[in-house]
Amino acid sequence: MRQLSLQVMQAWPASKLRACAKRAGLDVNQRVHALGDGAPWIAQQVKQRFGKQGGYLLDFYHVCEYLAAAAPVIEAQAAAQDRWLEQQRQRLKTGDINGVLRVLQAHQEDAQTVDADAPVRRCWRYLSTRQEQLDYCAAIAQGLPIGSGEIESAHRYVIQARLKRPGCWWNAANAEHMLALRVNRANRQWDAHWAWDARLRFVA
């Protein structure tokens, strides 16, 4: 079965998810491969909007940020921290989430330490409560993305390329309007946008 990859952003209205996927070519013979940052509502909406046709994966690099914060508690030297972090990355990529959780659990801060000062505990909790969203091994085997970097980098050539031209100064409201037009064009919704705008003007 063919796969359609979809990165779910915090700003997206949940009602737009399926419509966006359909515009990208979703049909009954495809599965949706969604990526997100772990916010519970995102996984819930992917399940609600796509059911068995959808799957959800935590953004790998977001997970690695949690691991990187935990590394200095577990290893004192910078080189050892780097080795430890790479070992956990490889465990995640090969499906050994239990190995990662065991290491984290063995180094959790004591109960008297507040969460803000307990990066190992935060990392363990973040991963242990989202184990079904960590199947990087299967995604890699299918050639599917495990991180959202490619999509997030689009801000350089979609947004910054227009808003950060030399000599440009923007009123905030005007920048929002220009950004909306730029995104519509990048998403191949230019004609649909103006058709919608014309309908609104006609009604008014």
Q: Which residue has the higher pLDDT, 11 or 89?
A: 89
The average pLDDT across 161-174 equals: 84
Residues 66, 53: one domain?
no
Q: Is residue 17 part of a domain?
A: yes
Backbone angles phi, psi at 18, to 5 degrees: -70, -40
Chain segment 135-152, per-residue pLDDT in tens: 999 999 999 999 876 666
The whole domain housing 51 covers 2-57
Residues whose CB falls within 8 Å of the CB of residue 154, separated by 6 or more in sequence, listed in order: 186
Q: Is residue 145 part of a domain?
A: no
pTM for the predicted model, two decimal places? 0.72
The average pLDDT across 53-77 equals: 94
pLDDT at 11: 46
Residues 16, 50: one domain?
yes
- The CA dihedral of 149, 137, 89, 41, to the nearest 10 degrees, is 60
Output the average pLDDT for the chain.
84
Residues 173, 198: one domain?
yes
Q: How many domains does the chain have?
A: 3
Residues 28, 47: one domain?
yes
Residues whose CB falls within 8 Å of the CB of residue 46, separated by 6 or more in sequence, listed in order: 8, 17, 32, 34, 36, 54, 55, 56
